[in-house]
Amino acid sequence: MAFDFKKEYKEFYMPKNKPSIVTVPPMNYIAVRGKGDPNAEGGEYKAAIGLLYGIAFTIKMSKKGSHQIEGYFDYVVPPLEGFWWQGAVVQWTTLRSRSTDRAGRRDGVQGVDYTHKESFQWISVIRLPDFVTKEDFEWTVEEATGKKKTDFSKVEFFHYDEGLCVQCMHIGPYDDEPATVDLMHQYMESQGYELDITDTRMHHEIYLSDARKVAPEKLRTVIRHPIRKKEAL
């Protein structure tokens, strides 16, 4: 049976719909960076998704080709994920909550404005199995470029050490995420933590539902924010 990251690492992919604290180990990803409204037809985001899956399935199907990746095992391609921000510096509160103390103000931006999705910046990613080295990744990009006649130059090998976080399963439309984020921040503070979003520690989402096939009210999205222990006064 193919290895399924969601089932084997439930603490990272299947949290309950109430906040919890988790320490996430370093991981490698296929990544594409971009900006703009993720819902825009013909926009950067939808193009990025195609690039990510093109590389993901080239790696998965490499078992049938001449390039044999050392340590390869059959697996289910992990879910789509994304790191998101607005403004010049990564930050994430919600305009609804106005809770600037929880995440601070960056470049005069107070929170995230969901009504202006065109100003989103993002790194869209799919997790790589640990057996995929950077050399294997570079081979995959070359292989996919040749076979699919597509420009994969925007795709990168992305290493991310997430560390200590608060997370929660959000069930419902993406635009309703602020309510879940507020619950996460309240729980984090009650446990003696504070938000630690920076330009290297980011708002993170994991998409467990296919928005093309699942009703908005049933969408399941893991939301994760980096945190740190509050310093004693």
Q: What is the mean pLDDT of residues 149-167?
A: 98
Tens digits of residue pLDDT in 127-149: 999 999 999 999 999 999 999 99
Report the distance separating Cα 51 and Cα 44, nearest Å: 11
Q: Is the separation of the CB atoms in 26 and 159 below 8 Å?
A: yes
* Cβ burial, residue 233 (10 Å; 0-12/13-18/19+): exposed
Half-sphere exposure of 155 (CA within 13 A, CB side): 28
Structural domain that includes position 114: 5-229
Report the distance separating Cα 93 and Cα 169, nearest Å: 17
Report the distance separating Cα 107 and Cα 87, nearest Å: 7
Lowest mean pLDDT among 88-102, 201-215, 216-230: 88-102
Tokens of 157: 């090998």
**Which residues lie closer than 8 Å to 138 by C-beta, 6 or more apart?**
157
Report the distance separating Cα 64 and Cα 199, nearest Å: 40
Give which of 182, 229, 177, 186 is closest to 205, Cα–Cα: 177
* Residue 222's pLDDT band (cuts 50, 70, 90): very high
* Residue 101's pLDDT band (cuts 50, 70, 90): very low
Which domain CATH number covers 146?
Answer: 3.20.80.10
Angstrom CA distances, 178 to 21, 78, 227, stand at 18, 25, 17
Q: Is the separation of the CB atoms in 163 and 201 below 8 Å?
A: yes
| Phi, psi torsion values for 153, nearest 5 degrees | -65, -20
* Residue 33's pLDDT band (cuts 50, 70, 90): very high
Report the distance separating Cα 129 and Cα 71, nearest Å: 10
- Sign of torsion over alpha carbons 38, 103, 32, 22: negative
This prediction's pTM: 0.90
Name the helix (H) or strand (E) containing 124: strand 120-127
Domain count within the chain: 1
